[in-house]
Structure 1
C-alpha cells in the first residue's frame, strides 16, 4: 500500500467523537473534576480522548466510556485527567505576588501567631513544582522572619504525572530562565542534557499531594492554612465549580489568611466570603478575621 493510502486508512480506522459523545464526556468530566470544556476546546479534547481510547484498546468511544464509568480502581480516570489538564509554568512567574508575600503577607500572618505555631502555605495547582519551589526560594532569600518561624509548604494537583515531575525536580532551561543567576547556581545543579536539577533540600521542603478541589474528601484534610496560591486554575472552572473551590479554600484557611489568584482572576466575582486587600505589589483576597 502506498504511504498516502496507508495514512488515510489509518486515519479512517481511528475512533471518532461525535457531538453527542463530546457533550456526554464533557458532562462526565465536569462532574468528576469541576473542569468545564467549552465547544471551542473540541480539538484539544478529541485528540487526547482518542489517544486514551487507543491506549486502552477500546474499539469505540462508547466502549471506552462504559469502561471508564464503571472502572472500580479509577486508574483510567486518573490517566485521562493527566492527559486533559494543561500545565504551563516557570520559576518566578508573576513574581510581584511573591514580593508581596515576603514584604507584607508573611509578617502580618506571623504577627497573629503564638510562639511555636507553624505558618502554612498551600500552592494549588502545583503543576511541575515551579511555583512551590519559587515560594521556598523567596522565603529563604527574602524573608528575614524565616529564622524565627517554622514554615510548611504544601502543594497539590489533580494530575499525578506533574506531581511525579515536581518530586523529581528536574527542569528545562526555559523553566529556570527567570531565576537570578546566583539563585540558579545556589539551588540547582546543571545536568549533562542541559537541564537543571533542584537541590534535595528544596525538594524535601515541599509536601506534594494529589487533590481535586471539587471533591470534599480531598480538601477536608487541609486546615489552618495561612496563605494560598491558587493561580490560573479557576479559569478552567464554571461559576458553580469556582464557588465550590472558593468555599473549600475558605474552610481550609485560618482567619485573616490570604489567597493569591492569577492576574486575570477575581475572587469578588466568585464569592463574597473574602475581602480585598491592596498592597503596593499586588491585590490579594483575605478571609475575615472574625
Structure 2
C-alpha cells in the first residue's frame, strides 16, 4: 500500500448547543416531553445513533429530514428511542389496593346496574401496569363479576405497545408477583421468560395516544380511574398543566387519577380534589354538585 494513501474516515457527528436547543424545542412541541440539561448526554447519543442509521452525515441534514418526512416514521422511531420504559408487575401496589378497597366502591355507588367501568393506564409502557390492574381486579375485587370493566392502555412508544400486546416478560418483570398468581396467569416459556394468558391479553386494548394533544384527547372520555404514574415528571410546567386539564376532561365526575409517588397534582393544577385514603393519596374530579 502506498504510504501516502490515507483511508477515508467518516466525519465525526456532533450535536452543538444550538442543535440541542432546536431539537429540544421540536421534540417538546411534538410530545410535551422536555429534556433538561442533565439528559444532554443521553439525547445526544440517541440522536447520533439515528443520524447514522438514516444515512445522514450531520445533525442539520437529519433534522431537515426529521421535520419534513411526510410519513412521520422516523419521528416515531426517535420517540421510541428517547422514551424510557422501566416498569414491573405490581409496581406501587398500594394504589391497586386503594382501587379495589376504596375507589371502586365510590364509583359503582353512582352507576346504574349494567354500566361499564372504564380504567385507563397511561403511559402503559410494555404492559405490566394494565395487566396488573386486570389481575388485581380478578383476584381482589369482590364485585368483579357484577360489572363490565374496560381497561384501556396507551403510550406514545409504538415498540413498547407491541411488546405489551405480545405479553412476554422476563423474570425481573414478574419477580414481585405471588407464586400462585404467576402460575395462574402466566406460562413459563423457558430461558427466564413468561407469557401472560390469552384471556388477559385480550382484556386490554392498547393504543397510541399523546395526552398533550388536546384535539386527539377529545376522543377519550368517561373514564372512572386513570393511572398516570411517572409521566408528568418528564413534562415542563406548561405541558403538565395541559396534560392535567386533558385528563380531567377525560374523567367522569367523581372519577379518580393516580400519580407516581414523587408526583403531586396539587402542584400542577387546582382543579382536582385531593383524596387521602388509608392506602394512598389520589386525586378526584369533583362531582357536579360539588363544583
Q: Does TM-score exceed 0.5, indicating one fold?
A: yes
| Number of residue pairs the alignment of both structures matches | 282
SS of alignment partner, residue 24 of structure 2: helix
Q: 1: distance between equivalents of 2:128 and 2:184?
A: 16
Q: 2: distance between equivalents of 1:194 and 1:34?
A: 36
1:13 Cα shift?
A: 3.3
Q: 1: distance between equivalents of 2:70 and 2:147?
A: 44
Question: 4+ residue stretches of structure 1 with deviation over 3 A?
Answer: none
1:218 Cα shift?
A: 2.5
1:192 Cα shift?
A: 2.1
Aligned to 1:28: 26
Alignment of 1:52-201 (within 5 A): 52-201=50-199
1:75 Cα shift?
A: 0.7
Aligned to 2:43: 45
Cα displacement string for residues 155-203 of structure 1 (whole angstroms, at most 9, x for unaligned residues): 1000000000000000000000000000000000001222000001000
1:115 Cα shift?
A: 1.3
Aligned to 2:255: 257
Gaps spanning 5+ residues in structure 2: where?
A: 2-7
Q: 1: distance between equivalents of 2:28 and 2:276?
A: 33
Is residue 206 of structure 1 aligned with residue 204 of structure 2?
Answer: yes
Aligned to 1:218: 216
With normalisation by structure 2, the TM-score equals 0.95
With normalisation by structure 1, the TM-score equals 0.95
Q: 1: distance between equivalents of 2:105 and 2:197?
A: 27
Aligned to 1:238: 236
Aligned to 2:287: 289
Q: 2: distance between equivalents of 1:17 and 1:197?
A: 41
**Contact residue 210 and residue 216 of structure 2 kept, 8 A:** yes
SS of alignment partner, residue 206 of structure 2: strand
Q: Taking structure 1 as reference, are residues 203 and 14 closer, same or farther at Cα in structure 2, changes over 3 Å only?
A: farther
Alignment of 1:10-25 (within 5 A): 13-25=11-23
SS of alignment partner, residue 144 of structure 1: coil
**Contact residue 131 and residue 200 of structure 2 kept, 8 A:** yes
Aligned to 1:5: none
Q: 2: distance between equivalents of 1:109 and 1:19?
A: 50
**Contact residue 107 and residue 145 of structure 1 kept, 8 A:** no
Q: 1: distance between equivalents of 2:157 and 2:251?
A: 23
Gaps spanning 5+ residues in structure 1: where?
A: 2-8
**Contact residue 11 and residue 57 of structure 2 kept, 8 A:** no
Q: 2: distance between equivalents of 1:86 and 1:108?
A: 34
Q: 2: distance between equivalents of 1:151 and 1:52?
A: 41
Q: 2: distance between equivalents of 1:14 and 1:202?
A: 48
SS of alignment partner, residue 119 of structure 2: strand
Q: 2: distance between equivalents of 1:203 and 1:92?
A: 17
Cα displacement string for residues 6-40 of structure 1 (whole angstroms, at most 9, x for unaligned residues): xxx97x73411011100000000001000000111
1:288 Cα shift?
A: 0.2
